[in-house]
Amino acid sequence: MQTKQLGNTGIEVSKICLGTMTWGCQNTESDAHEQLDYAIKEAGINFIDTAELYAVVPQKETQGLTEQYIGTWLAQNLRLREKLILASKMTGPGIEWIRG
Catalytic residues: 54
Q: Phi/psi at 28 (nearest 5 deg)?
A: -85, 175
DSSP 14: E
In DSSP notation, 36-97 reads HIIIIIIS---EEE--TTPSSSP-TTTTTHHHHHHHHHHHH-GGGGGG-EEE-----TT-HH
Q: Using an 8 Å Cβ cutoff, are 17 and 49 in contact?
A: yes
